[in-house]
Amino acid sequence: MLRHASKMILGQGLRSPPTRAVAVGAGTPRMYHERVVDHYNNPRNVGSFDKNDPNVGTGLVGAPACGDVMKLQIRVDDDTGKIVDACFKTFGCGSAIASSSVATEWVKGKQTEEVLTIKNTEIAKHLSLPPVKLHCSMLAEDAIKAAVKDYESKRAKSNASEEAAPVEKAADA
């Protein structure tokens, strides 16, 4: 089962594919959809941005019942409000990893307001997740929202401090 073989995927360093992938190809009852296996074997956008970078929003969510943690980060262009890059790090089952991977792919090139409309059902459908794994896609949706929220709050804070600075200068003058 991919769940047993689930490991954190680090950058470009791929591990040997889990034996489950072989079983899936051999025509035995499919437990993980091809796309899920694909995301597991060919991970996209795994990595980390500097969380202190003002252009970066970090969403950190978890599913305590299965012990999953998911981190999704977006890099936003301040002027256009467009997400120019995204990356993720997920510790959990194959479905959770695939869901967050899909999420990073889908948010790239979109506006921050737009990605808030990405629904977990779309992710689940794309990956043909079974009912028992639907909460993994929910986790990915939560991660996107959390990342956007974090970016927005950072921006709000920096705007507030920018406004405060000229006021101080005026007061000094």
Tell the smallest beta-carbon distance from residue 142 to another protein (Å).
5
Interface with another protein, residue 135, by CB under 8 A:
yes
Among 62, 45, 66, 47, residue whose Cα is nearest residue 140: 62
Residue whose tokens read 């950058």: 11
DSSP tag of 111: B
Q: Cβ closer to another protein: 8 or 164?
A: 8
Q: Considering only residues 20, 33, 71, 154, which one is a binding residue for another protein as defined by CB under 8 A?
A: 71
Q: Does 146 engage in binding with another protein (CB under 8 A)? A: yes
Q: How far is the CB of 95 from another protein (least distance, A)?
A: 13
Cα distance from N-terminal residue to C-terminal residue, the chain: 69
Residue number, 145 or 155, with CB nearest to another protein: 145
Cα-based torsion angle of the residue sequence 90, 92, 93, 94 in order, rounded to the nearest 10 degrees: 10
7 binds another protein (CB under 8 A): yes
Is 66 annotated as catalytic? yes
Q: Which whole-number Å values give the CA distances from 40 to 18, 117, 157, 160, in the listed order?
A: 9, 25, 37, 42
Residues lying near another protein in the complex (CB under 8 A) are found at 7-8, 10, 60-67, 69, 71, 89, 91, 134-135, 138-139, 142, 146
Kindly list the catalytic residues: 66, 136
